[in-house]
Amino acid sequence: MRKKITVAICGFGNRGAEAYGSYQMLHPDEMEIVAVADPRPARRALAVKEYGVPEDRCFTSGEAMLAQEKLADVMFITTQDSDHIRFAIPALEKGYHLLLEKPISPSLDECVALREKAHETGRIVVVCHVLRYTQFYQKLKELLVCGAIGKLESVVATENVAYWHFAHSYVRGNWRRADESSPVILAKSCHDMDILRYLVGKPCLRVSSFGDLDWFRAINAPLGSAARCLDCQVKADCPYDAEKIYLTNPASGYFGGHRQWPLTVLTNDVTEEGIRKALQVGPYGRCVYRCDNDVADHQTVNLEFEGGVTAVFNLSAFTEGCYRTIRLMGSLGELEGNLDEQKVTLRPFGGPEKVFTLDPVEGEYAGHGGGDARMMEQLCLLISEGGRDALTSIDVSVESHLMAMAAEESRLHGGKPIDLAEFGKARK
């Protein structure tokens, strides 16, 4: 029988607990959480009550947990973007393997330092580029590798963030400011840069990028609006109204329909009363035109890969749904797919179209098109069997971070083309 892996979780928030920790409930024979660290008492209480972590193994900070002897095989680093490295480096030094949330760090220097530390200590670092593990992207990769469309020449990929998701995370929420977290192209789309690198199968050489924060600014606040949605006179006409997003809109938080993310980000008291209180006093009740956000709300990136493959990536806040689409164009045919629909269409030139309908992503496989759960399966297998080659290793992940950071550099300099080799040498 396979050895069960032991896990210590640093940052028992949404990703640490709900996305990855919950794998223990479904597969208690594969993984056991033996320690957690989180400054929020409610999250430590959750670890004890729902996940069975011993009280004396619940620490008030990652620092306190790392002051102990090594407690587990793997440490999950699931704190906020700028708080990954300060836990990841000492954890590697203590002998932990790592499951590390993306982005590795908003600083390229820190990304490279972690890669070097992983090599020096010989530990495995799996970065949570969960999309690589989905059936959807694996199917596309398989079709490309077997030559279904001949030589790949160009790619068009889009990330439709959804108006309510963008308002939640990038206007009111944790990723609204580049200086406190990271630019949206890194925070959200290092996944997409990673997928492009994965599918093309060759290094990216140059990027250029345009985009801006245009809509979510004070200048666009409607007459009669207020600092908080609950006090707004014109909220009936506003799709970004927090009351709609979190309490009544079936497409988003929807108190009446489900009580998980993003509602759990607002409050531990996920009752209608608890949510209303959070909207009265907390950041998620603020008018989207009166926040302190600065990340771009739409951005386009052009990419050139080794061998001449070109790609265009577009991210937009202004979409009704939250999904990704992709088109891959080759010398002998094209591939088209929609992650949300779990559907890949192959159109060989001059031949019949073939549609691949993948397994529905439900239940345990709901997160990120099934990527969250599939990555956890792979992690447990990798650690218990002593393997080395993670699909999303620190080495491949640093490449996607370099692409995203170079895109941001270009966007901030009027779309100037950036050579990745030179940008990587200059490091920031």
The closest of 168, 190, 301 to 239, measured between CA atoms, is 168
Shortest spacing between CB 410 and ligand NAD, in angstroms: 22
DSSP 8-state symbol, 286 = B
Is residue 102 a contact point for ligand NAD (CB under 6 A)? yes
* Piece of the chain touching ligand NAD by CB under 6 A; list 13-21, 152-160, 234-242, 415-423: 13-21
* Piece of the chain touching ligand NAD by CB under 6 A; list 36-44, 156-164, 250-258, 354-362: 36-44
Chain Cα centroid distance, residue 423: 24
Q: Which of 81, 241, 297, 409 touches ligand NAD (CB under 6 A)?
A: 81
Give the CA distances from residue 334 to residues 161, 196, 237, in Å, rounded to whole numbers and listed in that order. Answer: 25, 16, 41
Is residue 193 a contact point for ligand NAD (CB under 6 A)? no
- Distant-in-sequence contacts of 335-340, Cβ < 8 A, 24+ apart: 335/140, 335/143, 335/144, 335/148, 335/149, 337/136, 337/139, 337/140, 339/131, 339/134, 339/136, 339/137, 339/369, 340/369
Shortest spacing between CB 59 and ligand NAD, in angstroms: 8
Cα–Cα distance, 390 to 121 (Å, whole number) = 16
Shortest spacing between CB 57 and ligand NAD, in angstroms: 14
Q: What tokens appear for 277 in the block? A: 């209180």
* Piece of the chain touching ligand NAD by CB under 6 A; list 39-47, 239-247, 352-360, 382-390: 39-47
The closest of 215, 214, 211 to 189, measured between CA atoms, is 211
Shortest spacing between CB 361 and ligand NAD, in angstroms: 14
Q: Which of 15, 176, 286, 374 touches ligand NAD (CB under 6 A)?
A: 15
Crossing angle of helices 135-145 and 190-200, in 10° steps, is 30
- Scanning residues 342 to 401, which ones bind ligand NAD (CB under 6 A)? 368
* Closer Cβ to ligand NAD, 11 or 337, answer by number: 11
* Closer Cβ to ligand NAD, 97 or 102, answer by number: 102
The closest of 293, 107, 109, 98 to 186, measured between CA atoms, is 107
Give the CA distances from residue 161 to residues 21, 205, 376, in Å, rounded to whole numbers and listed in that order. Answer: 25, 27, 24
Is residue 128 a contact point for ligand NAD (CB under 6 A)? yes
Shortest spacing between CB 246 and ligand NAD, in angstroms: 16
Shortest spacing between CB 8 and ligand NAD, in angstroms: 11
DSSP 8-state symbol, 173 = S
Cα–Cα distance, 31 to 253 (Å, whole number) = 30
* Closer Cβ to ligand NAD, 316 or 397, answer by number: 397
Q: Compute the Cα dihedral for 162, 165, 171, 174 and give only its sign.
A: negative
Shortest spacing between CB 101 and ligand NAD, in angstroms: 4
* Closer Cβ to ligand NAD, 337 or 369, answer by number: 369
Is residue 11 a contact point for ligand NAD (CB under 6 A)? yes
Is residue 194 a contact point for ligand NAD (CB under 6 A)? no
* Piece of the chain touching ligand NAD by CB under 6 A; list 11-19, 141-149, 212-220, 409-417: 11-19
Is residue 40 a contact point for ligand NAD (CB under 6 A)? yes
Is residue 107 a contact point for ligand NAD (CB under 6 A)? no
Is residue 80 a contact point for ligand NAD (CB under 6 A)? yes
DSSP 8-state symbol, 268 = S
Binding mask 130-169 for ligand NAD (x = CB under 6 A): x---------------------------------------
Report which residue type is found at 97.
H
Give one DSSP letter per residue of 376-393, joined into a string. Answer: HHHHHHHHHTT----TTB
Ramachandran assignment for 282, one of left (phi > 0), alpha (psi -120 to 50 degrees), beta (any other)? beta
Is residue 298 a contact point for ligand NAD (CB under 6 A)? no
Output the residue with the shortest Cβ distance to ligand NAD.
Answer: 13
With beta carbons less than 8 A apart as the criterion, state whether 97 and 155 touch: no
# binding residues, ligand NAD (CB under 6 A): 26
Count CA within 13 A, CB hemisphere, residue 85: 16
* Closer Cβ to ligand NAD, 258 or 416, answer by number: 258
Which residues make up the interface to ligand NAD (CB under 6 A)? 10-16, 37-40, 43, 61-62, 78-81, 83, 101-102, 128, 130, 174, 187, 368
